[in-house]
Structure 1
Amino acid sequence: MELKTKAMAALLASTLLAGCTIPGSHISLDGKNVIQPESNSNDDNQSNDDISNRVNVYPLTPNTVNQFKPEQVTSRSNPALDTEVSKYQYYIGPGDILNITIWDHPELTIPAGSYRSSSESGNWVHSDGSIFYPYIGTVHVSGKTVTEIRDEISKRLAKYIESPQVDVNVAAFRAQKAYVTGEINKPGQQAITNVPLTILDAINRAGGLAQDADWRNITLTRNGQEESISLYALMQRGDLTQNRLLKSGDIIHVPRNDGQKVFVMGEVQEPKLLKIDRSGMSLTEALSSVGGINELEADATGVFVIRSIKQDPQLVQTTSSTDTANSETEKKELPPIANIYQLNIKDATALVIGTEFQMQPYDIVYVTAAPIARWNRVVRQLLPTITGFNNLSEGLNYYMELK
């Protein structure tokens, strides 16, 4: 019996040592400098460090799903833009070329011919904002409309010509530009002319959006200030309030849709990353894109959407205030970091509710495993060890019988 015990111990020790040489890599925290989070001295506030206390859970039911719907985008007119367009005037700037005609006085007008375009024969506005014209000399034109320039030239020419008939137009618009960048078929600059230029016009002139464009989050930068514009609302839903009249120096940037990600994990047929397209994505669409839930392993009552809550850095920092009367420190409760929306699809008709729940970028769809599936996994982990010990015991018994 003593010999049997010693043999068992020797074989068990060799088995454990063999386990230390199992192939593959891992990370051990032994010997590493592990940075521990700061703990609160007040035991009541220790729970603030637990993520479970900073998560809200909302069941998705026919009565509650509507309150989680994003605001619906509808077709709307834009009276403010219409007013801007109706009052729009182009103001001359350096680089523009003016075409000035004095009727009945061809000696003052250089006509455009077959060898020269009107822009080549016109009056170029110099960097100081002025032009030179015969008889009257230097005329400051920058910041003026063609009507104002025509009146000034007419007034000054009246000293030399009786009742001059003056016509002024812009032969080339070069002073004012807007820029379209990002996921555009033809990115670049767009000239601002005497015809009002809006965001929609500029994008159409640039060849439209590229395939990977993010329709919902383009930015309009004006004088260093950014404004978010939704082309989905403008072009797909007819919300004209998203349109803007462009001014010189404006930058329209269309980002890639790399940020329009949804993660589907857990007990589904094919866990993977999905991209929200221009028409959006519902929870049911996300599940169908990965082949649905794993009917043998999934818990149909546990389909969850985990959505992070953007934090205000000033709110995340806990502030303390000292009460001179009691000398007690009061801690502000930490804000929630995520909302969880739970859908029970044990009755498959509940997938209709999922069609009403719209996904947002960086949402996580997680389908939990059924309790029996989790138990089976534990058993599968234990079976090789149990089988190994049984085989070891039988081998020892056989060895002892031979002895």
Structure 2
Amino acid sequence: MDGRMGGTSLIGSTRGGSFLGRSLLAGVFALSLASCGVTYKSPSVRNQADGQPVVVVSMSPQTVSVANASPYASQSLPSVFFSAAGTGAGRGVGALPETPYLPDESQQAMQYRPLPDVTPEPYRIGVGDQLLLATKSNASSVEQLTGLLAAENSRQGYSVRGDGTIAIPAIGPIQVAGLTQDVAENRLFNALVDAGIDPTFSLEISEFNSQRVAVGGAVKNSVIVPITPSDLTLGEALIAAGGFDVRDRQFASIRVYRDGTLYQIPLDTYVENPGLKDKILKAGDAVFVDTTYDLDRALAFYQAKIDVISLRTSTRISSMEILQAEVGLRRSALEEQRSNFERRRALGEETQEFVYLTGEVNDQSRFALPYGRRATLADVLYAEGGFDTTTGDPSQIYVLRAETTSKGEGITAYHLNAENAAKLVLATKFEMRPSDVIFVEEQPITKWNRTLQQFLPSVLSAARSAAAG
């Protein structure tokens, strides 16, 4: 329809034209209202809905508390979303084997096979060592270094894994096995700088587990003594075992198995020569205080101890590999189960709770209530874009909820008058329930404009037809 013909020309002729034109327009208007039934009907909240009473309750802090008190438990995600793929520590290797039984024998001439001197070397980090990263800065540095400093509080640190690395959050694995402490600090410093993390830290070895010496035989306690940066002497190793436990010193000897060679120090020689206590031991040495001259049996003991130490290392590596494979399989299974749940939910195969939005909202839609927590009226309304105040009436916002009361089934319409925008705070407190309907009514002017938009074309068309006839 041409605007000028339907607007300016017709109305102009009505104002300045004949009585017949005015009467004709009024008659057509009345006829359309009376006979055609062309009226604009907009939704609104009324006192009845299919015979059920509708009770309008004004939202206030008190009524919001009453509405929120209705029993409701939000849906929970499947347990698979709370499962972790990690497992416990690797398998242990059990206790060391028993010290072999060595029968007493008659005394023979005991040969002195001196233990070679060892040149002291800097301690090199190995598999099984525990490293502790500490900071010298304030609490903000703890946040910057994230997981790096958690070990300082728990005093556990980072364990050197079977592949010779330590795994640091936000950085990844760093190879440290075989390095001295200074070289390891430099490597860690460079890794922190490359990752953009404040490199203010100190590194220390809190537990020495990679280099050890076995001590057994006629001592108070058979032990495995760790080697530290301060070196381990023969005297210190024997003290760690509680000292000698022999009846006749002349029958006893200290035998040290090193790199396939057996060295022997008669106990009398050891006591009479204090310098022998300062002999430095190497990683893998086995010290056995013997009261027999059977070197073959002593050699079997040393070999058993060495085998146990090797078994511990190989078992740790094997356990780590098994653990990593197992974690990978579990992680894949968890991801598959979670993905299947997401697909079922997208296809509507999973039960889900919704809230519905209608009226003068920006998006006539439904809102899925979240898992594990409760959503408010503000969450639902503004997650979907809210409403346009040029068409929606902020004084007429309703939450329609089907409820059962002492009088039977009914509908409660919680009315939020947000003409004063401060009352929108109530929307952040009002909790939603499944199947709630949020309704925003039209502005009165919107209702009138829409009536005219739908009605006037019919009136003007009828007027043109009557004028033409």
TM-score by length of 1: 0.39
Decide which structure has the larger Cα Rg and report it.
2
- Which structure's relative contact order is higher, taking Cα pairs within 8 Å and 6+ residues apart? 2
Larger helix proportion of the pair: 2
TM-score by length of 2: 0.34
